[in-house]
Amino acid sequence: MPDGDKYGRRTFLKAAGATAAAATLAGCAGGDSPGTGDGDGDGNGTGDGGGSGGTLVYARGNDSATLDPQSTTSGEDAKVINQVYDTLIKFKPGESSLVAGLATDFSLEGTTASLTLREDATFHNGQSFTAEDFVATYRRFVDQDYEHFIGTSNEEGVEGSSQSFYGPYLLSKVESVDAPSETELTIELSQRYAPFLRNLAVFAMAVMPRKQIEADHDFGSEPIGTGAFAFEGWNEGNQRITLAKNGEFWGEGPNVDTVVFQGVKQNSTRTQQLLAGEAHIVDGIDAQSVSQIESADNAELQRTEGMTVGYMAFNMARVEAFREKKVRQAISHAIDTKAIVENIYKGLAVQASQPLPPTVMGHNDELEPYPYDPEKAKQLLSEAGYGDGLSFELSAMNNPRPYFASPGQTAQVVRSNLSDVGIDVTVKQQAWEPYLTYTSEGKHDACFLGWISDNADPDNFYYPLLHPQVDPSEIPEGQDWVSRDAEGFNTGNRAAWANRNFMELVTQGQTEYDEGKREEVYRQAAQIAHDEAPWVYMTHTEELRGVSNAVSGFTVSPISGPALNLVSLS
């Protein structure tokens, strides 16, 4: 590996294509380093572990922070994690339907989930996958009595990574996980829980090998999974992660020898690399890049409706003014989200009126975005006792995200809009990983964030983002926010919002298996979220990728992915 690599080649690597060296960007145009096609990849897929060979370069807006699926909520981390690890259940590429993963059959009846596991999957270190690996993975994530529990973020003395909120969120309803045999799993839930099978397909539920868990292996820096690609190296200085073909993969593909994930902050730079043949797939595309890619001869723009929401959260636990609904509504009227969508996103997004995007069941079509109305905003501020204005800090990431392709430019529009109604805003931008920490610790006044659906279920937006996940006794009567010090507080709720009626509807939606009844529950929840305005609802964006003409087999996925095992290079 090149000088400066943080993590060197793993001696346990069994992938047939592992001898392919990581190429520099200048030498990564399609068709180099043809593969030998010597893997068998028999599994249940149609691939043979061979394919076109070569090195695929995927350029994105930021490097990963960790490759431990249990210690991150970052979509940048998930892109790599999805190549290295597998989940029990997977999403069909480009769709939201569930398909077999490490489990070949699965069902949910009442409070019991039953899964039959495949017998042909092996970890990258050569160990066979069994049900006991999932049991250990589960216990590492949520069982505080387990010797190898990952640790909670506020637990002193825990070294290394610690549990992300995905553990308590995805697995909170699990009472027990049993392995009757090497190929069987029985999971008992504490209540009826409609999203559970979809939860098992989320990247954070990636399965790790039991023996390495019990050896307290550092999965964040040296991941070991059963996925189509095995970890080879990480050059942090150059923001480059290199993966090698797993010739023993149970599923379809992989068809290339090597995948390089390259972090490139500037949208324009990534686009130029694509057009120069230095990258094969790029994401985080802004409106200017769209026009360049669409007019290029050697690349194309691929797009699909996204399952995203971009928002500005009011931190009610920190800023007293934000506890007044009329202040939140005033700010929602004062920000010209229509102009932001038209001038910054130029048709690549639509205005949001609620947390759920139009592509997710339960979206309330009767709700309209808050209209831009500075006079109405001034009136509401006056009625709330803030006629003389207020001031706050707006935190924003400095790298593009699918729901905020141009966060800096968007923040300046918000600052200008609010200045017009007497609100003084200071914009603070930070790099992505420190930004996530800053906002998860509640240090922000207001912040830009967004969500890319993990499982295409409405609960995936409402419960992790707007439900405080605390006992109702922690919320004083008549108060619609909760202290971040409350036991069990959900740090994903950046607004610290705690509306009892909304919480009851979300809980009801979790336990309802009839889809028609669930949809009505979530339409009511959307109405409350719209009216109470814990966020400024800003955008629902399309999923956009720039793809080289040298690439075939790539599908833009609204959730999960990218499915790089299906990609070939000409």
The pLDDT tens digits for 401-455 are 888 878 999 999 999 999 999 999 999 999 988 999 999 999 999 999 999 898 9
> Which whole-number Å values give the CA distances from 165 to 9, 170, 463, in the listed order?
31, 8, 11
- Considering the domain architecture, whether residues 344 and 442 belong to the same structural domain is answered as yes
Whole-Å CA distances, 524 to 160, 164, 205, 311, 370: 42, 29, 30, 20, 18
Shared domain for 500 and 557, answered yes or no, is no
Quick one: 413 exposed, middle or buried, by C-beta within 10 A (0-12, 13-18, 19+)? middle
Q: Please tell me the least confidently modeled range out of 151-165, 201-215, 306-320.
A: 151-165
| Nearest alpha carbon to residue 30 among 291, 233, 281, 292 | 281
* Residue 107 contacts residue 114 (beta carbons within 8 Å): yes
Residue with tokens 């202040």: 327
Same structural domain for residues 327 and 469?
A: yes
313 part of a folded domain: yes
160 half-sphere exposure, CB direction, 13 A CA radius: 16
Confidence at residue 6, expressed as pLDDT on a 0 to 100 scale: 37
CB 281 within 8 A of CB 562: yes
Closest by CA position to 254, among listed 77, 69, 124, 125: 124
Compute the distance between CA of residue 395 and CA of residue 448 in angstroms, rounded to an integer: 6
Phi, then psi, of 54 in degrees rounded to 5? 90, 180
Residues 461 and 356 reside in one and the same domain? yes
Q: What is the pLDDT of residue 406?
A: 87
Asked, for residue 40, whether it belongs to a domain, the answer is no
Contact 362, 397 (CB under 8 A): no
Phi, psi (deg, nearest 5) at residue 408: -65, -45
Q: Is 273 helix (H, G, I), strand (E, B) or coil?
A: helix
Distance CA(204)–CA(154), nearest Å, equals: 20
Distance between CA atoms of 195 and 192, rounded to whole angstroms? 9
Cα–Cα–Cα angle for 119, 121, 127, rounded to 5 degrees: 105
As a whole number of angstroms, the distance between CA 79 and CA 58 comes to: 10
Helix (H, G, I), strand (E, B) or coil at 82: helix
We report the CATH number of the domain holding residue 486 as: 3.10.105.10
pLDDT given at position 429: 97
Radius of gyration from C-alpha coordinates of the chain:
23
DSSP 129: P
Q: Taking Cα atoms as reference points, which of 500, 549, 50 lies closest to residue 277? A: 549
| The pLDDT of residue 63 is above 70 | yes
Cβ distance 260 to 55 under 8 Å?
yes
Same domain, residue pair 234 and 329: no
For residue 299, is it within any domain? no
Tokens 């993969």 belong to 249
Burial tier of 358 (Cβ tally within 10 Å: 0-12, 13-18, 19+): middle
Residue 512 Cα distances to 31, 98, 192, 517, 522, angstroms: 51, 19, 7, 7, 11
Same structural domain, 558 and 522: no
Residue 183 belongs to a domain: yes
247 pLDDT above the threshold of 70: yes
Q: Which CATH number covers residue 173?
A: 3.40.190.10
**For residue 177, what is the DSSP state?**
E
Residue 128 exposure: Cα atoms within 13 Å on the Cβ side = 8
Same domain, 431 and 520: yes
| Same structural domain, 209 and 343 | no
269 within some domain: yes
Range of the structural domain that residue 56 is part of: 47-280+550-569
Output the CA torsion 145→151→157→161 (10° steps).
150
- The sign of the torsion formed by the CA atoms of 541, 378, 523, 535 equals positive
Q: Which residues pair with 310 in a beta bridge?
A: 450, 539
483 & 522 share domain: yes
Q: Is the pTM of this model over 0.85?
A: no
Tell me 370's DSSP state: P
Is residue 221 domain-shared with residue 338, that is, in the same domain?
no
Task: Read off the pLDDT of residues 512-568 as tens digits, 9 standing for 90 and up.
Answer: 999 999 999 999 999 999 999 999 999 999 889 999 999 999 999 888 989 999 999
Taking 80 as the threshold, does the pLDDT of residue 304 lie above it? Answer: yes
In a domain, 128, yes or no: yes
Confidence band for 51, pLDDT divided at 50, 70 and 90: low
Q: Label residue 161 by pLDDT band (50, 70, 90).
A: low
- Looking up tokens 């999932």 gives 134
Contact 525, 517 (CB under 8 A): no
Structural domains of the chain, count: 2
| Each residue's pLDDT tens digit, 477-520 | 999 999 999 998 999 999 999 999 999 999 999 999 999 999 99
- pLDDT band per the 50, 70, 90 thresholds, residue 376: very high
Q: What does the angle CA 429 – CA 435 – CA 438 come to, to the nearest 5 degrees?
A: 115
Nearest CA to 510 among 559, 458, 563, 434?
458
**Cα separation, 23 vs 31, whole angstroms:** 12
Q: Per residue in 24-40, pLDDT tens?
A: 333 333 333 323 233 33
Instruction: Please report, in angstroms and rounded to a whole number, the separation of the first and last CA atoms in the chain.
Output: 25
Which of helix, strand or coil describes residue 175?
A: strand
Beta-strand runs (E) in 328-434? 349-351, 390-397, 423-430
User: Do residues 414 and 528 share a domain?
Assistant: yes
- Is there a single domain that holds both residue 314 and residue 267? no
Does residue 38 sit within a domain?
no
With respect to residue 199, please indicate whether it lies within any of the assigned structural domains. yes
Per-residue burial over 533-556, b if 16 or more Cβ lie within 10 Å, else e, is bbbbbbbbbbbbbbbbebbebbbb
pLDDT for the residue numbered 85: 98
